[in-house]
Amino acid sequence: MHLIISQTLYMNYLVNKMDDFIDTCVIIASFDNKDKYYEIINIFLEGTERLVISIYQEKEEIPNLFLRRQKLFMEVIKFLQNSDYPIDYSDFTEREKISIKKLLTRITLKQESEESLNKMLEEVITLRRKVFHFIQKKVFKKVIPIVDIKGDLVSIIKRINQNKSDAKIIASAVQEHQTNNLIAFTLDKNDWKLNSIREKIENLGYECPEVRFLR
Amino acid sequence: MNINNKIKERKTPEEIKEAIILELNNGPKGASEIAEKINSNWITTEKFLNELMIEKKVIEIISASKSKVYGSASDLSFFYLPLSEEIRKRTLSLLSTLNEIWKKETNTTPQKTILQKLAVEFVEKNNLQNEVPILRFHYGQTLALRFEEYRTTDVYPLKDGQKNEIRELITEYKGYSAKESKLKQYKKPSMVFYKIKEETINNFCLEKEEYLKKDLFNLFANYPSELSASFKLFDKLMYCAINILNIKDNKNEYLSNIRGAFFLVWDCLTTEAYFYDVEKAISPEKKDLFVQIKSNYLNSKITNVSEFIEEIENEINNLEPEEINASDNLSDFVHELFSE
């Protein structure tokens, strides 16, 4: 089984250029000049012709990420307008909850105003446009329909990162790799550690793509 | 004859049709429910329902083959909702009584918007919301029924002092135009979202871009969180509008499109607000029908508007970086927020 997959990949490698599957954090960091890897990422992206992302990233992960980050500001602005406003934390991740609390402290210390919060909200909205412009204009291919993402693969990947959303992105990359040879690029050293589960993935009949960390 | 069978009176076709309409004026029903209420059989009832539909007096509001639901074209509730009979009676009699007092006091007939706004204020002042619900809709708060003078009803039982209170309200409201009575209502803290929307629309029309961005953020911050079905649409609208304001040149065409989209999204989210507020006025046995009507109206509105907004969104996403003001220089907080 492995031999057949490897031979297919090798043939693809010979006839095709490799596709570069990119994680969402790579796209976002390319628009943030405070990011340590801003320049490296932009050099990498400029030199890459066949950028690939998953349909799941385009249709669910990225829209939901921006929606939550915008809601984060909406909630704190409501608190700023009325200090009795009960913040609804239910939609947020643990990291986002910490960010909300930081902002609430700064509001209480009068270090943030409605104007400064609106400005940050506008930065998020502008960043969102850049990310979707990038997806529309620079991404060569969006792969694996969401309904076709394999549940068994997602379950195994979720064991290393506990994040279902990331697991679906990685599963999409793995599935796409079976027909089109690709290398996955990310900044996220924790969630893309496929080595520890490589054997389990291969036991399901999938070849793991190479993962490169852009840092 | 089976003893359990009801004795059916012989009625003329016109009498049957009139009875059907009277039933449907009290809310939507299926053919068998109507047949039972008017003491007729299902086949006859359905035959006359079809005739009434051709005459445009009856509307099929749920078209499922086995469970069609019909409404009267002259039903005074918005969206032919199955409001409880008591709420219909109370609401209509209050509107009618206010209308009569207005006519006596001023020798004029009140405009419908003004009558509704006055009624809302009266209901709120007297804490009557449980028997006469107040609902948010496109132009602010209203009662659950439209008012038509030709529909006769009982007089609303007013308590001591309430008549004087109504006279005082009439003295105030007779000086208002429909728009002024609407704006008066928007001054209430609970209506701040509507007030900001009004300011946003004004600044759109006057093309006051410097205020428009502030209005949009204000709208964002005051979005009623309970209106979850319309939020994605609203978010896309705000996303497009704020990005359009950052376009360097030739943004007028985009602004005019987004203004059109604004009205469509407003229609969706205030329809959702109406359904959200009216739910408490629906009798429990009609909840399933209510949910069906709500999803029919709301989903089709949201789908239509989504297509329109997504077209604008695609155009905005296609703009090249040089066409739009936006640097890669994020603030420390936003940088941290997005750093993995």
Give me the interface pTM, i.e. the ipTM.
0.88
Interchain CB distance below 8 Å, B326 and A70 = no
- Euclidean distance between CA atoms A31 and B164, whole angstroms: 65
- Domains of chain B plus CATH, in order, are 13-75 (1.10.10.10), 80-184 (no CATH), 189-323 (no CATH)
Q: Contact at 8 Å (CB) between B270 and B137?
A: yes
Alpha-carbon gap: B330 to the closest alpha carbon of chain A (Å): 6
Contacts of B318 in chain A (CB under 8 A): 133, 136-137
Radius of gyration from C-alpha coordinates of chain B: 25
pLDDT of B66 above 80:
no
pLDDT of A87 above 50:
yes
Mean pLDDT, range A103-116, rounded to an integer? 96
Q: Is B331 on the interface with A (CB under 8 A)?
A: yes
Task: Residue B29: name the closest of B54, B52, B1, B3 by CA.
Answer: B52
Compare all CA atoms of chain B with the CA of A97 and give the residue at the minimum distance. Answer: B337
Residue A198 or residue A120, greater confidence:
A120
Contacts of B240 in chain A (CB under 8 A): none
Choose the closest CB to B317 out of A33, A78, A136.
A136
Give the domain extent around A169.
2-213
* Portion 89-108 of A in contact with B at CB < 8 A: 96, 99, 102-103
Query: What percent of chain B lies above the pLDDT cut of 90?
Result: 69
Domain total of chain A: 1
The one-letter code for the residue type at A203 is N
- Cα dihedral angle (B5, B9, B10, B15), rounded to 10 degrees? -120
pLDDT of A2 above 80:
no
Question: What's the pLDDT score for residue B115?
Answer: 97
Choose the closest CB to B223 out of A28, A74, A187.
A74
Contacts of A102 in chain B (CB under 8 A): 333
- Cβ atoms within 10 A of the Cβ of B226, count? 11
Task: Residue B174: name the closest of B221, B84, B111, B235 by CA.
Answer: B111
Query: What percent of chain B lies above the pLDDT cut of 70?
Result: 97
Choose the closest CB to A123 out of B235, B314, B331.
B331
pLDDT tens, position by position, B294-331: 999 999 999 999 999 999 999 999 998 888 887 778 99
Q: Is A124 on the interface with B (CB under 8 A)?
A: yes
Compare all CA atoms of chain A with the CA of B232 and give the residue at the minimum distance. Answer: A67
Question: What's the pLDDT score for residue B321?
Answer: 84
Q: By CB neighbour count within 10 A (0-12 exposed, 13-18 middle, 19+ buried), where does B337 fall?
A: buried
- Euclidean distance between CA atoms B262 and B309, whole angstroms: 9
* C-alpha B54: how far from chain center: 27
- At B206, is the pLDDT very low, low, confident or very high (cuts 50, 70, 90)? confident
Compare all CA atoms of chain A with the CA of B334 and give the residue at the minimum distance. Answer: A120
- Can you spell out the DSSP letters for A138-190? H--EEES-GGGS-HHHHHHHHHHH--HHHHHHHHHHHHHHTTS-EEEEES-TT
Alpha-carbon gap: B15 to the closest alpha carbon of chain A (Å): 56
At B296 the three-state DSSP class reads helix
What is the value of pTM for the model shown? 0.86
The one-letter code for the residue type at A148 is D
- What is the greatest pairwise CA distance in chain B? 88
Compare all CA atoms of chain B with the CA of A115 and give the residue at the minimum distance. Answer: B214
- Euclidean distance between CA atoms B169 and B166, whole angstroms: 5
Task: Residue B321: name the closest of A40, A41, A133, A125 by CA.
Answer: A133
Q: Mutating which of A129, A161, A187, A188 best tests the B interface, going by the most B Cβ atoms within 10 A?
A: A129
Cα–Cα separations (whole angstroms), residue B44 to B21, B28, B31, B276: 14, 18, 10, 37
pLDDT of A140 above 50:
yes
Compare all CA atoms of chain B with the CA of A112 and give the residue at the minimum distance. Answer: B333
Interchain CB distance below 8 Å, A74 and B328 = no
Q: Is A31 on the interface with B (CB under 8 A)?
A: yes
